[in-house]
Structure 1
Amino acid sequence: MLSRRSLLSTIAATTVATILPARAWEDDISAEARPALADTPRLIVGGGPDSLPGQVAPILATALARGLSTLTPISTHYDLGRDGVTAANLFDTQSPEADGNTAILAPGAALIASLAGDARVHFDYSRWAALIMARRPVVTLAKAELHRSLRSRLSGMFHDRPVRLAVSHPTGVELSSLLGLSLLGLHPLPVPGYAGKAEALEALKSGQVDAVQLTPGPGDDLSADIASAPEGIKPIFFSGPTIAGVPSFDATYAMARGHAPSGALYQAWGAVSNAAASALILALPMLTPPLAIARWRHAAQEAVTEAALKTWNDSQHLTITAGADAAPLLNQLEPELTSLLALRRWINNNQPRWRQGQETRPT
C-alpha cells in the first residue's frame, strides 16, 4: 500500500513522464533554440563551503548551468548548519510558488532529522521531486563477540553489558546503526561525541566503544578498512550500495532470529538506513511545472557525465542516479505513517534513557 508521500511522488513522476518523456527536452528542441530561464536559477546548499554539499556545489552549479542554458551562472546560497536542516527549511519557505528556478542540494542527514521528528524541521521532503541521488555504502562494525553470542543473547542466556555505539549524537546519521542493533536485540548504548571516522575507529580499537558506523570519504577504501580492522572487529551489516563480504541487515537478522525481519520499526529502519546512505539529494519542489522539471532533469543527466563532476563523485565513492530514475530512490526514504510513528515513539521512549547513559529499549 502506497503512503501519502509515495503516492504524491508517483503522481508527480508519472505526470512529468506523460507530458514530457525523459529525453523530450533535448530531442525536440536543439541546444541553440532552448530558451534560457527567465530568472537566475538558485541552488540552496545544505551546508557550508567545507561540507560535502558545499564542496561539490560550485562544480555541480557549473555543470547544471550548461544543461539549463542559463544566461547567468547559478547562484548558490550556503547553509552554515551542520546537517542541512536550515537549508531544507529555507527551501520549503523560499520556493512555495515552485517556478522551477530554485533547487536544493541537501545531505541525507537532513532527511534523518525529519524522520526522527527533530523540532527544528519545518520542511516536508515528500514534496520534493528528486533530480539526483548520490549514495554511498554505510557499514556497521562491531566486535565479533556480537556475532558469536548473538543467538544466546537473544534467547536470554547472556546478560552482559550493552553494546556501546560511537555516535555524533543519537538521532544523527548513526541512527541507522542504533536502530539496527536494537532490532537485532543487542541493546545498544549511544556514546556521543564521535563525529569523525578516525575518532570513532580509535575509540573502537581502545575499547571505549564496541561498535561504529563507517562511510567512505576521499581516499578511503572501505573494504580495506574492514580487512585491516583490529582482531575481533567485524562488519555486522550494511546499507546503501553493497560491499563485498559484508552481510545485509536482513541476512544478519535472519541468522539471529531465524526468520526475515518485519514490522513497523523494521520498515522505519529501511527509510533511516537509506537516508544514511544518501550522501546528496538534488531536488525541486514537487509542484514545479512539468516543463521545468524536464529541463532540470535533462540538465542533471548531462551534468553527471561531465568530467569534473564525475571525478569528484568517484573520489567520494558515490553511486549516482540522475533524472527520472532518482525519484524511486527518494521514495525509499518515505516510510508509511505507521512506521514513522513507531520510529518516533521508539526515539521518544529512549531519549531519556540515552541522556542518562542507559541502554536502548527495543520498543
Structure 2
Amino acid sequence: MRSFTQHARLRRRGVFVSGVLVTAALALSACSGTAGAPAGGSTAGGAETAITSLKVIAPADPGGGWDQTARALSQVLTEDKLVSSAPVTNIGGAGGTVGLANLATEKEPATLMITGSVMVGAVETNKSKDRIEDMTPIAKLTEEPAVIVVPASSPYQDVKSLIAAIVKDGPQVAITGGSAGGTDHILAGLLLTDAGLDAATIPQKLNYVANSGGGEAATMLLGNNVAAGISGVGEFAELIASGDLRALAVSGAERSEKLPDVPTLTEEGIDVTATNWRGVIAPGGISDGDRAALTDLVTQVHDSDAWASIVAENGWTDAFLTGADFDSFLTGDIAQTKDTLSVIGLVG
C-alpha cells in the first residue's frame, strides 16, 4: 500500500478518496525580501547575507505537535550554532489560522512558521482570508500517524466497537482532538464514512470537541470528559505507556515504532490510512534569495544528527521536501483536502 497523507480509500457506494500526496502540475509561486543563509544565500542583487537570528512561530498553544516541532527546530538551530537565536512564539487558535494571519503581516523575512495538514483543513473550514498559498513554502519536514485512544477505564476494547457506538448513539459519544477541520477531525469523519454514513449524516452523528493543542485533549481524556481522542502518536505516547490512556489503533499504513503492539486501522478491517505532515513556511512577498537562504538553513537542520535523533525519539517519519517538490506536494494537498472535507460533510 502506498503511503499518502490523509489517504483513505472508501469503496462504499463507489466513493474513492485517494489522499493528498498528489503530483500537481502547478507549483505554488514563491513570492519575493531580504535575508540570507550561513551557507551563502544571496539577495536578488547577488550580495551574500547571513541569517544571524530567526523567528519561529508555533501556530498553536504549547503541548501539541506544532509546538514540539517548533521547539525541536529552534533547539537544533541554536545548539548547532546555525543561528545565534531562534525564539519560539506560540500563536494559537482556529487550527493555526490565527498564526497564519499573523504571518501574513510579518515584515521580517527571517521568520518560519510551522504548518501542516491541520492548517490546510482549517483554512477551508474557517474560510480563512489568509491562505497558505499566499505565503512562501520552505520545506516539508515530517509525517506522523495518528493514534485513536480511550481513557483506561473505557468500555471500548477496539476501534470498531467505538465506531459502532458513535453510529448508534451519535453525540453521546464525544471524540476530542485537534482543531476543527484538521487531520484528527478528518480522520474521525473518514472512520464514519467507512462505516457507511454519508456526508449529510456524519455532522449529525459526530460530536467532535476541537482543541488548539494536544495538551487540552489529553486533559479532557484524563478527566473522562470525552469517550475517545485522536492525535499524533508522539502527543499521546507517554500517557499510553503509563496506562492512563489505552490505544485502539494507529492510522498509518504500518504499525508505529513507538507503539508496536497497537494495530493499524487496516489490520482492524477499516480501509483508511492517514498521516499528518508538518513543515515550515515563511512570509509571503520575500525575495528568491531569502527563500533560498531559509531553505538552505532548514536543510542544514534536516541533515544534522541532532534532528535525526529528535525525529526518531518522537516517532516521526522523515518526509523532507523543498523547492518545486514541496510546492507541488502542497498544491496537491490543498486540492485533495478540499475534496475530502466535502466527502465527509465538513464543508459544503
Give the TM-score normalised by structure 2.
0.60
* Preserved contact between residue 46 and residue 54 of structure 1 (Cα < 8 Å): no
Out of 68, 82, 86, the residue aligned to residue 52 of structure 1 is: 68
Cα distance change, pair 229–223 in 1 and its aligned pair in 2 (3 A): closer
Could you say which structure has the higher helix fraction?
1
Give the aligned residue type for 1:281: G
Out of 78, 85, 101, the residue aligned to residue 97 of structure 2 is: 85
For each residue in 1:171-193, what CA deviation from the matched residue of structure 2 results, as whole angstroms up to 9, or x when unmatched? 45530332122212365432537
Q: Give the CA deviation at 1:333.
A: 3.0
For each residue in 1:182-217, what CA deviation from the matched residue of structure 2 results, as whole angstroms up to 9, or x when unmatched? 2123654325378333642663xxxx7554314233
1:135 maps to 2:143: yes
Give the aligned residue type for 2:74: P
Q: Which has the higher contact order (CA 8 A, sep 6+)?
A: 2
* TM-align CA RMSD: 5.0
For each residue in 1:33-52, what CA deviation from the matched residue of structure 2 results, as whole angstroms up to 9, or x when unmatched? x9323896543442466643
Give the TM-score normalised by structure 1.
0.58
- Structure 2 stretches lacking a partner, 5+ long: 1-19, 31-37, 151-155
* Preserved contact between residue 134 and residue 319 of structure 1 (Cα < 8 Å): yes
Q: Which residue of 2 aligns with 1:19?
A: none
1:180 maps to 2:190: yes
Cα distance change, pair 80–221 in 1 and its aligned pair in 2 (3 A): closer
Out of 143, 161, 166, the residue aligned to residue 175 of structure 2 is: 166
* Preserved contact between residue 6 and residue 126 of structure 1 (Cα < 8 Å): no
Cα distance change, pair 79–141 in 1 and its aligned pair in 2 (3 A): closer
- Structure 1 stretches lacking a partner, 5+ long: 13-24, 255-260, 262-269, 350-363
Once residues 332 and 240 of structure 1 are traced to their aligned partners in structure 2, the CA distance between those partners, rounded to angstroms, is: 20
* Preserved contact between residue 191 and residue 209 of structure 1 (Cα < 8 Å): no
Larger Rg: 1
Give the aligned residue type for 1:177: L
- Alignment identity in percent? 10
Q: Give the CA deviation at 1:220.
A: 2.8
Within a 5 Å distance, the mapping from 1:1-363 to structure 2 comes to 6-9=24-27, 35-37=48-50, 41-47=54-60, 51-53=67-69, 55-56=71-72, 58-62=74-78, 66=82, 73-74=84-85, 76=87, 78-82=89-93, 83-94=95-106, 100-106=109-115, 108-115=117-124, 117-118=125-126, 121-127=128-134, 128-141=136-149, 143=156, 147=160, 160-162=168-170, 164-168=173-177, 171=181, 174-185=184-195, 188-190=205-207, 192=209, 195-197=216-218, 199-200=220-221, 203=224, 210-217=227-234, 220=237, 234-235=248-249, 238-239=251-252, 242-243=255-256, 246-248=263-265, 252-254=269-271, 273-274=274-275, 277-278=276-277, 280-285=278-283, 288-324=286-322, 326-327=326-327, 329-331=329-331, 333-336=333-336, 339=339, 342=342, 346-347=345-346
Cα distance change, pair 193–46 in 1 and its aligned pair in 2 (3 A): closer
Q: Give the CA deviation at 1:346.
A: 1.9
